[in-house]
Structure 1
């Protein structure tokens, strides 16, 4: 059994935070539906909160799935090449993903900054929206970090990955 280093603890923390955000979004929907059906009322700014929480969930979900490599993929070429070819395809795909998510993170930071500067508020209660965007941006930053860890491990330490196909190879 491999001992957990800082990177593994960081990865696990990101996955737990993403799971917590799933719970928060589900709880928000459940409570609002319950209030609407039983008491004919709703949470003030529920639409704004729901929209922003969903954005947070998406970016933290990207962070959680980016490292593991267990998300939906089309592996027609990958499955037909040898072990070394698979590794280089994985490295190339991860580097491209790292570039794309890094650019996305820079653009999302600009959105956070503009939302702060423009002093955008929620409709009912007038709560500033930039903190919600900032939490989503932090999730995107975590995705960049996790993809960078994945890239490093793919190149220098593939046995440390938690990919399904690496784990299956270890069991064989």
Structure 2
């Protein structure tokens, strides 16, 4: 019998699925625009604006997905040479630094969303407000903060709950 999944695990899975959906949306936008240009000599109105904003959304939701799993780029030269206990300390310290940086980034990004809304910034062709795209990107950053906080908690109190390649290695 399988163990019921916790709320945190379901939340993490949802964030990862959302990030994957944004990859698909960006790819679909590019594919449709290329097909329209190649075969019909036309394009999606505001496709450049949509592509640019969707890419921003993808980046912030990607940060959320990779930050929890530890899938981002790391330098493990020192980490590989120390004991298991020191590895965990390094991981906790690095995750706390990441949590601080992404939290500051999230606070600054909410100001960008607010200013974009106040300035009534619109897309070029269809005059669609751009602030909702910025808000969705900001939501990805908020999710990144939440997932990094969950990772930090688990590193300190529940390291067995992490599905991390670092803890799966045999010393």
TM-score by length of 1: 0.96
Native 8 Å contact 1:36 1:42 kept in 2: yes
Q: Does 1:101 align with 2:105?
A: no
Query: Shift in Å at residue 73 of structure 1?
Result: 1.0
Q: Which residue of 1 aligns with 2:142?
A: 141
Native 8 Å contact 1:87 1:154 kept in 2: yes
Mapped partners of 1:74, 1:37: distance in 2: 43
Q: Which runs of 5+ in 2 are unaligned?
A: none
Q: Report the number of matched residues.
A: 170
Query: Shift in Å at residue 140 of structure 1?
Result: 0.2
Structure 1 outlier segments of 4+, above 2 Å? none
Q: Which residue of 2 aligns with 1:53?
A: 54
Native 8 Å contact 1:70 1:164 kept in 2: no
Mapped partners of 1:86, 1:3: distance in 2: 29
Mapped partners of 1:2, 1:67: distance in 2: 21
Q: Which residue of 2 aligns with 1:76?
A: 77
Q: Which residue of 2 aligns with 1:163?
A: 164
Structure 1 SS opposite 2:15: helix
Mapped partners of 2:165, 2:73: distance in 1: 12
TM-superposition CA deviations, 1:36-88 (whole Å, max 9, x none): 00000000000000000000000000000000012221100000000110000
Query: Shift in Å at residue 131 of structure 1?
Result: 0.1
Q: Which residue of 2 aligns with 1:113?
A: 114
Query: Shift in Å at residue 99 of structure 1?
Result: 0.1
Alignment of 1:26-37 (within 5 A): 26-37=27-38
Mapped partners of 2:154, 2:92: distance in 1: 9
Structure 2 SS opposite 1:148: helix
Structure 1 SS opposite 2:42: coil
TM-score by length of 2: 0.97
Taking a change above 3 Å as real, the CA distance of residues 151 and 89 of structure 1, as seen in their structure-2 partners, is: same
Q: Which residue of 1 aligns with 2:40?
A: 39
Q: Which runs of 5+ in 1 are unaligned?
A: none
TM-superposition CA deviations, 1:8-50 (whole Å, max 9, x none): 0000000000000000000000000000000000000000000
